[in-house]
Structure 1
Amino acid sequence: MTAPLRVVVWATGGVGSIAIDAIGRRPDLDLVGVWVHSPDKVGRDAGELAGGAPTGIRATDDAAALIALQPDCVVYTASGPERDAAAVPDYVRLLEAGINVVSTSSTTLVYPPSFYSPQWREQLAAAATAGNASFYVSGIFPGFGSDQLALLLTTQSKSIRRITVTEVALNDHYPVADIMMDGMGFGRPLDFQPMLETPGFIEMAWRAPIALMADALGAQVSEVRGSLDRAVTDRDLEVAFGTIPAGTCGAVRTRARGVVDGDERIVVEHIIRMARDVAPEWPTSDADATYRVDIDGDPDVHCAMTLGAAEGHGAGRAAMTATAMRVVNAIPYVVAAKTGLLSSLDMPNTLPRHAFD
């Protein structure tokens, strides 16, 4: 029997905790270390941090000690509004040490050729080459719901006029206040400028899945056009990161439109609500997380994928599980892959192993 792959999980938030539990269930994966940011988590059992049974693995904030373990792969799930600035140096250090990395953090790297920082991309590519390692980013949206699902459906197409991929989500479960409030503007008055409203931010955030789809279909995107809409709640909302006061932002919609041959051909739409009845004029869903693909072409194709139970509050957890498993299931494939920066176009279907165990 082949020895299990040695894995480190980098951070123990919602996605990282799911990864820890999932790795512990896999006979082909062996959790050997866990990195944490908070000093109060250092020394605690990784399984307990993930909300499960003890694993015997003590969390640490010592990156050098984890690198010294010589894991086959790091599952990188750290989050924050400055995630790339903090994450890229970590990626470089790990890759140079010969450690493969799968990440849910830097979502603009789901398609490395379109990464907004050529300098960082070159650093990552050089580090991967130096360490003979591979690097892969995925998730659910950006990730499977914003590119691979659509591309699978296009295999039925004779001609395509437009592809629209949409996430409609109830995100009252998400606990990271700085991302939700400062980054997206929830709980702020509409005259507050969140990070999303920074000129070019939406275009940068969604350029990668648009470029990935275009490349897969043999097209070239000449421009990405972005837009932001926000809507207020008429009552106080109690959510995971605190209270959203009445009269402040309770729903956000972003749209990024990729221009091909002068027409808006690839559209990525992201709708997030803090309660189902905010902004009822926008596309809605009976489930807490819905991923739609609408292809205007020959033939027209319409597909909706939901996660978790409808009309419940399990889809937030379901979406995080799907995000985590996109990279956990990819570990054996990334370890076996060619050296360098990978996208889903470079990978086979990352089918789950031992899913029925």
Structure 2
Amino acid sequence: MGCNAIGAITRRPDLDLVGVWVHAPEKVGRDVGTLCGGEPIGVTATGDVDDLIGLRPDCVVYAASGPERDAAAVPDYVRLLEAGINVVTTSSTGLIYPPSYYAPQWRAALDAAAKAGRASLYASGIFPGFGSDQLALLLSTLSKTITRVTVTEVALNDHYPVAEVMTDAMGFARPLDFEPLLKTPGFIAMAWSAPILLMAEALGVQVSEVRGTLDRQTADRDIEVAFGTVPAGTCGAVRTRAAGVVDGREAIVVEHIIRMARDVAPDWPASEFDATYRVDIDGEPEVHCWMALGAAEGHGAGRAAMTATAMRVVNAIPFVVDAPPGLLSSLDLPNTLPRHVFG
């Protein structure tokens, strides 16, 4: 994700890449262009956040990942915000709608830091992010009445390399009696409350509760993926569903289907693309829309989804820098239209 952001920033005449913070010792002191597999760009990676803060950037693109990403990221956000540096992040998906952030004490610390430094924080991505909320809200401008909004991601995530997230958090490559983080009571509802409550605020309704369910299916053969091997008989597909209840009915629904190979879980919704986002609005009129990223049949759609995730925050940088201080959601910004993308 970071390399996607670096590539986009360095090609834009309105943005200057002044520094990159890395955590692996072997990356420190290297040119970040070569770290990302390209030509040198004259920016050297640092392992010291004080070096980064000392550069006085207008904004930091935060793209770290890992099993404890928020626990590690929030202190970084606080330090950057207090230093007067705006932050756009793909790491903390719960912050796409700050009022619903699952850790009130962290939200309070972030809000205080933003006020102290007169800086802003904005989180986004593709799902959660554009595919889970803004696309549906855009389509809802066609609606006379709505009874239910359902947003769905169907993804082939064999390209995702972070093993701890895929195995311990989501349960891939584990037997079905393994208890992943996703199975923790209330976790799915918590993880997907942000897009549900963001849509509810935008549409002017109150969600009384969010209900979460988890389903998993096994692989019938060994599958080689970016984080290792998914052995036969272990989890090869995960399906989550979070439903926001409005006036006693499940009215705003977020579904997430992830596979390690296309033929796992053949009875679940599928797509010929590696990343497909669907919006279904029941009401007057009925609205059914799907969006795919990348080419069909495994020709880089996974990379396309990662690029789209990074661009949601990179393209937002000028708007976040110009925004009033605070914790922002997509409802606080205009359309974050890209600049300098043609050519």
Same fold (TM over 0.5): yes
2:120 is the alignment partner of 1:134: yes
Question: Structure 1 length as normaliser, TM-score?
Answer: 0.95
- How many residue pairs match? The answer is 343
Runs of 4+ in 1 over 3 A off after TM superposition: none
Q: Is 2:193 the counterpart of 1:207?
A: yes
Superposition deviation, residue 200 in structure 1: 1.0
Q: Deviations over 1:246-265 (max 9, x none)?
A: 00000000000000111100
State the one-letter code of the partner of 2:62: Y
SS in structure 2 of the partner of residue 279 of structure 1: coil
Q: Measure, in 1, the Cα distance between the counterparts of 2:37 and 2:339.
A: 23
Query: Match of 1:284?
Result: 270
Q: Distance in 2 between matches of 1:122 and 1:339?
A: 14
Query: Is residue 2:182 matched to residue 1:196?
Result: yes
Say whether the 8 Å CA contact 1:141–1:167 is kept in structure 2. yes
Q: Report the residue type matching 1:136 in the other structure.
A: Y
Q: Distance in 2 between matches of 1:313 and 1:52?
A: 21
* Offset, 1:313: 3.4
Does residue 144 of the first structure (1) align with residue 109 of the second (2)?
Answer: no
Partner of 1:115: 101
Alpha-carbon distance between aligned partners in 2 of 1:65 and 1:252, rounded to the nearest angstrom = 41
Which residue in 2 is equivalent to 1:104? 90
| Structure 2 CA distance for aligned equivalents of residues 50 and 344 of structure 1 | 29
Q: Which residue of 2 aligns with 1:270?
A: 256
Question: Is residue 172–residue 240 contact of structure 1 (8 Å, CA) maintained in 2?
Answer: yes
Between the aligned partners of 1:215 and 1:52, the Cα distance in structure 2 is 43
* Distance across 2 between alignment mates of 1:200 and 1:313: 36
Give RMSD over aligned pairs.
0.6
2:242 — aligned with what?
256
Please list every run of 5 or more consecutive structure 1 residues that lacks an aligned counterpart in the other structure: 1-14
Find the counterpart in structure 2 of residue 3 from structure 1: none
The residue number in structure 2 matching 1:21 is: 7
- Residue in 2 that maps onto 1:159: 145
Letter in 2 for 1:278: V
3-state secondary structure, aligned to 2:243: strand
The corresponding residue for 1:300 is: 286
In the TM superposition, residue 72 of structure 1 has moved relative to its aligned partner by 0.3
Structure 2 residue aligned with 1:66: 52
SS in 2 for 1:31: coil
Matched, 1:124 2:110: yes
| Distance in 2 between residues matched to 1:119 and 1:348, nearest whole Å | 29
Consecutive unaligned residues in structure 2, runs of 5 or more: none
How far apart, CA to CA, are the structure 1 residues paired with 2:293 and 2:242?
A: 23
Could you say what secondary structure the match of 1:30 adopts? coil
Map Cα deviations across residues 210-254 of structure 1 (whole Å, 9 max, x no partner).
000000000111100000000001000011111111000000000
Does the 8 Å CA contact 1:103/1:136 hold for their aligned counterparts? yes
Secondary structure of 1:29's aligned partner: coil
Correspondence list, 1:13-52, <5 A: 15-52=1-38
CA distance in 1, matches of 2:230, 2:51: 41
In the TM superposition, what is the alpha-carbon distance from 1:312 to its structure 2 partner?
Answer: 2.0
1:343 aligns with 2:329: yes
235, 239, 252: which one aligns with 2:221? 235
1:159-218 deviations in Å (ceiling 9; x for gaps): 000000000000001111110011100000000001111111101100000000000000
- Structure 1 residue aligned with 2:73: 87
Percent same amino acid at aligned positions? 78
Q: Secondary structure at the match of 1:196?
A: helix
- After superposition, what is the alpha-carbon deviation per residue over 1:3-47, rounded to whole angstroms, capped at 9, x for unaligned? xxxxxxxxxxxx100000100000000000001111111111111
Instruction: Report Cα offsets for 1:66-93 as digits up to 9, x if no partner.
Output: 0010000000000111111000000000
Match of 2:212 among 226, 231, 234: 226
CA contact (8 A) 1:21 1:52 kept: no
